[in-house]
Every structure is written in structure tokens, then in C-alpha cells.
Amino acid sequence: MFGRIFALVLKEFLALLKDKRTRLVLIGPPLIQLIVFGYAATFDLKNVPFAVYNEDRGSAARELFADFDGATSFTPVAQITHESEIAPLIDGKQVLMVIHAGPNFSTELAADRPAPLQVIVDGRNSNTAMLAINDASVIVDRFNTAWAQSHGGATPPAHIQMRAWFNPNLESRWFFLPGIVGILTLLLTMLVTALSVAREREQGTFDQLLVTPLRPVEILIGKTLPGFLIGMVEASVIMVAAVFWFKVPLLGSLLTLYTGIALFLLSGVGVGLMISSFAATQQQGLLGAFIFMVPAIILSGFATPIRNMPVLVQDITLFNPMRYFLLVLRGVFLEGMPFDLLIPQFWPMALIGVTAFGIAGWLFRHRMY
């Protein structure tokens, strides 16, 4: 028995290693995913952009803000002179955090009274917001200790007052569930489309399809529509559950949201059809879909901020439709962003979709003959 098992195992290894494509699948994707996970999947917070709103002209506020300027976790990008400047900076994602010292900050410290320091964070990404607040608290604690030692204070002189915009309670569910819409929609759409043409080839019905009066472009459209419609229904069901069951707010318009869904499905179906046109068997199509989906999810900003990734990896995310779709989902759900502000996210998804369909069409025609 053991001899037969050993012979079978040896045969399977030889079959795998003799196939050039299989060797590539065994070696290439794991290395790529290792690099993606190693560099992109990190919760370390670095270079968080923040703005300073300092109404106090005393030395205490300057010392505290100097500590923030020198911290590796934070990068100052703006000096605010009026409260009205806060909203545009956070809305436009130019800053993740605004630190506000009131006009009596130094006076309260000198009188050995608690001095409030207001920290306003972008709560759309609750994980990043909490990490930023924790790092800010560490800096304030160090400042408190140094101030108490140098001025003989008995109580902590400064304390943080927190405000989170777009997600006041920093509920992670509000952050993750809109992203789940994108992940599950991509998963189902890719599986449906990535196996469509490959299944025809594997079952031997592809030649029968070619002798029908249908033109290649019509066959491609016929292969595209089922995945598109299934993805639209899937996204709708998940959104209904998110809003009515999990109580995630939907502040934007449905027209804007479904425009983003349609463009995302266009890009997802295009990539899936491209994989299916290239694959000769369903197994190859499934592996191709998996190889695309895992990096796409990791590089989308779903769990870890894109700004924390290396510059080269950030450039790679520009080719990922999930990156843009997550911004649309969270913008419409949590911010109520209007259509015109999301155009910078719409056109890259449309461009990726058109390019993927062009490549899929070329592969389809090339492999027909």
C-alpha cells in the first residue's frame, strides 16, 4: 500500500514539474503574494498627514507641536488659521488629523490647570483613526511628563478631547461593511466570468459555439452580461443588509452609488473575461482569478491604508479597480459625497474596464483560430 501511495505521489510531482505553466503557477504567485503581504499588509502608522490649528501664541503650544513635528508617525502638511479651513482639508483627504490648541492653552498650563487639546480625526477609516489617536496620546503623555518635571506640576497639564468625523463612534463595522460590498462583488463576478470561456473549451462545446451565427463580439457580450447582472444583484443584496440589518448609514445618492458599482463591475468582468479567454481549463481560470483577487484585496486599502505602503506599491495600486471602488463606497455611505467629487474615482475604473475588454477580445479572437 505504501509503495503504491509513494508511486502515485511521485507521479503527481513529476506531472506538476514537467508542465512549464504549472511550475510558473507554483513558484511565481506565492513569491508575488509574499511581497504584497510583507510590504502592504501592515498596521504600522507612518507619515500621517496632519494640520495644526494653534490659537495660542505661548511657548507651551509651540513645544507640544514641535513634538508632533519631530515624530516619525506624523507629517505636518498645513497650518490652519481659521476653523472653516478644517472641513475642506479632511473632506479632501489632505489630512487625517487636525490638532487644535485653544487660545488659553499656555495660560491654563501656567496656572497648573488641565488644558484641553482638541484632536479631530477622519473617522472614515476607523482603524487608522484609532492608531493615530493612540500615537497622539503617547506624544501628549510625554509632553505632560516633561512639563510636570520642569514646572513642578502635580497633575497632568494637558488632555485630549477627541472628535471623529463621518464615524463619530469609530465603529469598525461602518468602515468594513462598505468594503465587503466590493470584495464579495469582485469575488462572485470574477468566479463567474473567469470560468465561462474556459468551461466551454474544457467541455468541448467551444467549437460548437463558433459555428453558430454569433460573431465574436456577440459571444463576448453574452459571456459578460451574466456576470455583470449577478454582480449587480449581489451588491444590492449586501447593501440592503448593511443598511437595514447592520444600520450602516447611507448618506449619498443611489445614482452615484450604482454608477460606481456599474463601472467597477465593468472592470471586474473585463479582467475575469481576460483570464477566461487566456485559460484553457477551468482550473487555470480559477487559479488566474485567485491570483488576481488576493493582491487586489490587499492593495485596495480595505484593511491597511495605502499611504502606509511603499511608493512603488502605491503606484501598483493605481491599476487596481478595488482601490477606486472602496473610495466610492465609503464616500457615498459615510460622507454623502456627490457625483462630481467622485469623478476622479469613476474614470480610472472605466479605463481599466475598457482596457481589459480590449485585451480579452484580442485573446478571444487570437485563440479562436
Does the CA dihedral 70-163-161-43 come out positive or negative? negative
Q: In what order do the strands lie in the sheet with 115-122?
A: 74-80, 48-54, 97-101, 115-122, 158-165
Q: Which residues, including other chains, have CB under 8 Å from residue 326's CB and lie 6 or more apart?
A: 178, 179, 182, 300, 301, 302
pLDDT grade, residue 324 (50/70/90)?
Answer: very high
d(CA 66, CA 46): 17
d(CA 197, CA 278): 9
pTM, 2 dp:
0.65
Lookup: cell for 367: 485563440
Q: What is the mean pLDDT of residues 290-294?
A: 86
pLDDT, tens digit (0-9, with 9 covering 90-100), for 225-276: 788 888 888 888 888 888 888 888 898 899 999 999 999 999 998 888 888 8
Give me the pLDDT at residue 346, please: 95
How far is residue 212 CA from its own chain's centroid?
43
pLDDT grade, residue 51 (50/70/90)?
Answer: very high
